[in-house]
Structure 1
Amino acid sequence: MTPEKSLLLLSLLALLVLGLSQRSLAESQEEKFRRQHVDSDNKGETGKKYCNRMMPKRGMTKGKCKPVNTFVHESYQKIQDICHEASTPCANPNMHNCHKSSHPLRITKCRLTGGSKPGKCKYQGTKVKQQVTVACGGKPLKPIHLDPPK
């Protein structure tokens, strides 16, 4: 094999490895949903203390402060089961295949109240029980988006 062919082969191999590693590092929609919205371990912590701890812990203050986020305090299986409830329109026109929970779930709504730079994000949390709407995708169906509760 000529040196040029060897170099070409090594270059192609390096590109293949790089492409595969980037793909494996990318977060799937389901993984992002779980990171941003599922907190079944919450032991009753509420309010701004909870949101000011969880928002950075879950990566939602990197680069900018996420203005609103909702955490669902139920098992992932219970949230996934919503994908088999009756269909409902999605609040986000870019999302499809939404389903509304048939029963209220325990949630905490986090809303940005001050600071807009990473490290200075300040949140207020409201803990409530209410129905939630999720967009589902994949086979089997998995939650991939949570419509912000009203």
Structure 2
Amino acid sequence: MSPKISSWLLLRLAVLLAVLLLQSSEGARYRDFARKHIDHPQTQAANANAYCNLMMQRRGMMRRTCKRTNTFIHSSPGSIQHICRGGGTKVPRTRDRYDSRRRYRVTLCRSRGRYPNCNYRGRRQNRRVRVSCVNRMPVHLAGLR
């Protein structure tokens, strides 16, 4: 095999590997978003406070520190992905943020304690959500509207 052909093949292989790694990391970003923010169907708990304490521990957000606030969205992953795929309104002067057109059932959790006794208080609401999207997938919950 000539050096020219092997260099060309090596370059193509490197590009293919880079594309696969990029797609893999973007998939990981969505999976992290889903772990932190999607709970569908909603996990049952006695009340919003018990729900937050259970979910924050179950989802690993109380390791070495208490995550101060977190929001869980109680809708299907497809419904939330739809915000990035035409079901949301682009936020002006941003590159990748979209507001949902519809309202979602959410639970907002806020820590009232110090690690290791995080003690979350929960509030259930119906709100529109703002997400950052990468390749038409939500990767960051940027707030409630």
Determine if the TM-score, normalized by the shorter chain, exceeds 0.5: yes
CA distance in 2, matches of 1:41, 1:105: 13
Q: Which amino acid aligns with 2:122?
A: G
Q: Is the 8 A contact 1:66 1:112 kept in 2?
A: yes
2:118 corresponds in structure 1 to 121
Q: What are the superposed Cα offsets for residues 50-91 of structure 1, whole Å, 9 maximum, x if unpaired?
A: 00000010010012110000000000000000112220158x
Contact 1:55 1:61 in 2 (8 A): yes
Give the conservation status (yes or no) of the 8 Å contact 2:101–2:128. Answer: yes
Matching residue's letter, 2:67: K
| Unaligned ranges ≥5, structure 2 | 1-23
Runs of 4+ aligned residues of structure 1 deviating over 6 Å after TM superposition are: none
Q: Equivalent residue for 1:75?
A: 76
Match of 1:39 in 2: 39
Q: Is the 8 A contact 2:106 2:126 kept in 1?
A: yes
Letter in 2 for 1:40: H
Distance (Å, rounded) in 1 between the aligned partners of 2:32 and 2:39: 13
Q: Whole-Å Cα distance in 2 between the matches of residues 96 and 79 of structure 1?
A: 19
Q: Describe how 1:87-106 pairs up with structure 2 within 5 A.
A: 87-89=90-92, 96-106=95-105
- What is the percent sequence identity of the aligned residues? 35
For these two proteins, the number of residue pairs brought into alignment is 117
Q: CA RMSD in A?
A: 2.1
1:148 offset after TM fit, Å? 2.8
Give the structure-1-normalised TM-score.
0.71
Letter in 2 for 1:108: T
So what's the TM-score if we normalise by structure 2?
Answer: 0.74
